[in-house]
Amino acid sequence: MARIVIIGAGMSGLAAASRLATLGHRVTVCEASGTYGGMVGRYERDGFAFDTGPGLLPLPAVYRDLALKTGKEPLEELVELAPVDPESRHLFPDGTAVTLPNASRGGVSQALDAAFGAGSGARWSEVMNHGRTVWEATRRPLLEEPLPADRAFLGTDPYPVPPATGLARLRRPRPWTLRDVAARELGGHPGLTALLSEAAIRYGFAPGQAPAGATVLPYMEQSFGVWYVRGGLRALAQAVHRRCELRKVEFRFDTPVTRVVVEDGRARGVETADGRIEADLVVSAMDAGALHRHGLAEWPGLPPERWEPHGVPGRFTVLLALRGPRPAGTVHRTVVHAADPAAEEAALTGSAPLCERPTVQVLRPDDPALRPDDAHESVVLTATVPAQGDVDWTAPGVADHYADRLLAHVDAAGLGLRDRLLWRVVRTPEDTRRETGALAGALARPALAGTSGAWLKPANESPVPGLYLIGGNTHPGGGLSRAGMSACITANLIGPA
């Protein structure tokens, strides 16, 4: 039996704790805040409740595996899962609307033909087939296995770029970006381009910078589906926390770690305000950059600038408490696309001011647990924006002004939310930074192949023996499912007691 200290009780920390305790280890979790869940937070007021982080669950198989490996009950006995169908409704600047089914690529193709004209669905399907090629090439090394020591093959984008023809054969080939895919394989169609870009922007990638292999992101969603947890995703965090308690994991809340103790070249525990906690192994679910920058742990030979989050966007969220019932026929997820995609990308890359009418995700779950009664509705607006530092979100009036712009933008698309507003709560990347320790409140992006490995994450085995890294800023990257995968990979690296 090893004594293991886990830094952070976010979803990766909870998942790792439950797995390691099931393997027979003695696990203590130190959490700086007063609760668990990390990004999977909850805001409650006047009978309304909101997820303050992710609102939907892709790849529920990750948490199904966690439930089965750490106890006898399947995930469906711990939480109520429901597929989100239709998966989304998309509203475009020219007034076009398209509703996409969940986990049905054929249904998506038919919907696109109906909205954009015959042949649109076939074009989109071909790009998704290329996304499948990326999935098959990278699924194991980027999602299921430790990051290999020899990563050279992951520096090449597996997206099948067609061979150059004509004079283009004489030029030095340049790796394709997602923008190239849209221009050359979707014909620059504005609606199809917006669909492809939306998935990347939601994960914090600018289309002109993301490798072509980022097509794997919409491929995964459309192939494997998107799910909702009744009561909000906070219910999932509660279920995993209960599993930890059943496995005798010790939690120490309001206990920030001030240093990882390294003696004789190996992690031997952690220092806290309450004293030292001895350990045979330390697993950090803390933002890896913050862990290094704040001097909690030293990475031999790694320059501090490696952790700087320059150019990584954050998330801006508006929680809306509305009077009046949820209208009949309302879909769970609506996407109002950017009025000027070029302006949105320029804002995300730091070369232009905030985009006044960006891509906005609107979540409207039909869930009685999130509203005081059926005469009210809770709604969450989310946009990807520059992180704290690129924009000063703490400056007077900045956040409220931007919330006004988002609400006007979605209402111009026909949602009619402003006239029903009782109150709202605005959350910026600075709130994310303050509550979770994430550098600048920036998004943790998924790992992707290509660009000579620039989109890879630090390995789960750190350069310090006995210190392991999990969570969104380590392999295999950001997102709720990948947080669970990082815990699974690390538990397998440590092995049973």
Same domain assignment for residues 302 and 318: no
Burial 278-304 (b: 16+ CB within 10 A, else e): ebbbbbbbbbbbbbbeeebbebeeeee
Query: Using CA atoms, how far apart are residues 192 and 125, in angstroms rounded to an integer?
Result: 11
Shared domain for 364 and 336, answered yes or no, is yes
399: closest CA among 365, 441, 437, 438? Answer: 441
In-domain check, residue 423: yes
Its pTM stands at 0.94
Task: Report the pLDDT averaged over residues 103-111.
Answer: 95
pLDDT-derived band at 1, boundaries 50, 70, 90: confident
CATH code at position 301:
3.50.50.60
Mean pLDDT value across residues 44-72? 95
Same domain flag for 411 and 353: yes
Residues 250 and 291 in one domain: yes
pLDDT at 420 over 60: yes
Q: Which one of 197, 222, 247 terminates a domain?
A: 222
Q: What is the model's pLDDT at position 305?
A: 46
Query: Can you read off the two tokens belonging to residue 250?
Result: 């010790």
Instruction: Kindly report, residue by residue over 212-238, the tens digit of the pLDDT.
Output: 999 999 999 999 999 999 999 999 999
100 inside domain: no
Residue type, 370: L
Is residue 166 over pLDDT 70?
no
Q: Please indicate, yes or no, whether residues 208 and 290 belong to a single structural domain of this protein.
A: no
pLDDT confidence of residue 310: 57
* Residues facing 317 on adjacent strands: 382, 427
Does residue 318 sit in the same domain as residue 410? Answer: yes
How far is Cα 176 from Cα 450, in angstroms, rounded to an integer?
10
Please provide the DSSP assignment of 252-301 as one string: E-S--EEEEEEETTEEEEEEETTEEEE-SEEEE-S-HHHHHHTTSS--TT
pLDDT per residue as tens digits for the range 273-328: 999 999 999 999 987 777 776 677 776 655 544 554 557 899 999 999 999 999 99
Cβ(451)–Cβ(211) under 8 Å? yes
Task: Please report, rounded to a whole number, the percentage of residues in the chain having pLDDT higher than 70.
Answer: 95
Its domain, for residue 348, covers: 314-385+394-427
- Looking at residue 316, its pLDDT comes to 97
Whole-number Å distance between alpha carbons of 104 and 370: 28
Instruction: Work out the pLDDT band at 352, boundaries 50, 70, 90.
Output: confident
**Triad 374, 375, 376: Cα angle to 5°:** 90
| Predicted pLDDT of residue 53 | 92
Residue 457 maps to a domain: yes
Identify whether residues 218 and 235 lie together within a single domain: no
Residue 334: the pLDDT is 98
pLDDT digits over 357-414, tens only? Answer: 999 999 999 999 999 999 999 999 999 999 988 899 999 999 999 999 999 999 999 9
- pLDDT tens readout for residues 174-214: 799 999 999 999 999 999 999 999 999 999 999 999 999 99
pLDDT of residue 288: 73
pLDDT confidence of residue 162: 82
Name the band, by pLDDT with cuts 50, 70 and 90, for residue 435. confident
> How many domains are contained in the chain?
3
Assign 21 a pLDDT band (cuts: 50, 70, 90).
very high
Report which of residues 264 and 168 the model is more confident about: 264
Do 418 and 333 lie in one domain? The reply is yes
Secondary structure in 3-state letters for 411-441: HHCCCCCHHHEEEEEEECHHHHHHHHCCHHH
Q: Are 379 and 364 in contact (CB under 8 A)?
A: yes
Secondary structure of residue 492 in the 3-state scheme: helix
Residue 360 lies in a domain: yes
Q: What percentage of the chain has pLDDT greater than the value 90?
A: 85
* Structural domain contains residue 202: yes
Query: Cα–Cα distance between 232 and 222 in angstroms, integer?
Result: 22
Q: Which two tokens stand for residue 187?
A: 């014909």
Tell me if 92 is assigned to some domain. no
Report the Cα–Cα distance between both ends of the chain, in Å, rounded.
4
Task: Flag whether 108 is in a domain.
Answer: no
Question: Is 159 a member of any domain?
Answer: yes
Write down the mean pLDDT value for the chain.
93
